Amino acid sequence: MLLLQLLSPLAAAPFPLAASLSPLAAAITAPINVPRRCDRASTPAAWVGRRELLRLPLGVLPLAALHAAPAAAAEPTGVRISDSVKVKIIKAKSLRAMVRRSAQNRRSLPMDTTPGVNNYPSLTQELKRQEKLVLLPLQAELARIAASAELPEEKRKALALQPLLLKGHLLELQQALAEAKFEEYTSKTTKATYPGGKVERELEEVCETLDDFLALAAGKDVEIRDD
């Protein structure tokens, strides 16, 4: 209003000056029509590209476009697994390949045929060490994660089952280690042959259980496996 009062005397000035100020006064006093709703689908002609929009004077932009709220970010899904747990999972899954390779290498050397003799003492000790450092702590960590997971009921139950399955596989692994079952073995369940013996097969089941845990934690479905 103050600006209009200042411009009023100038509007009565000689013609050239008044003519140059008339559009400015008209622009100031002109009403601003703000659309109640910007519907892209119903009024495509009213929308312009981003480059064209940036070239337009600020005064012609609809207020709705200037104050448009950003789209809401999608909420994250799944269960968060810490980096330390991920590292343990990687280490646990590497044990199968280590057993497979080491058992084959050991059999390339002379073997003691005395009944009951463990021809794989170094491999046995290393696996027991990894069981203490990696496998058992990992099983406890997964049980803790599953207990606090926020998932749909069915997936939450399936997730909570995996640490229990892992515990069972670790008990079977301990039994296979106690009997030094590293000799080549063919599974009746999978029909596959394991150069690392029954120990390798138990570690394969450990790997499968870890894969299922990660999939369920990410909100995915898993297949039912045969033991």
Contact (Cβ atoms closer than 8 angstroms) between residue 212 and residue 152: no
**Cα–Cα distance for residue pair 57/77, rounded to 1 Å:** 43
pTM: 0.66
* Full 3-state SS string of 68-92: CCCCCCCCCCCCCCCHHHHHHHHHH
CB count in 10 Å sphere of residue 78? 16
Strands (E), 87-200: 185-186, 193-194
128-139 CB burial, b ≥16 within 10 A, e <16: eebbeebbeebb
Contact (Cβ atoms closer than 8 angstroms) between residue 170 and residue 134: no
Tens-of-pLDDT digits for all 227 residues of the chain? 544 454 455 445 554 444 444 554 455 455 555 445 444 444 444 444 555 545 555 454 454 444 544 444 444 457 899 999 999 999 999 999 999 999 999 999 999 999 989 999 999 999 999 999 999 999 999 999 999 998 899 999 999 999 999 999 999 999 999 999 999 999 998 899 999 999 999 999 999 999 999 999 998 988 877 66
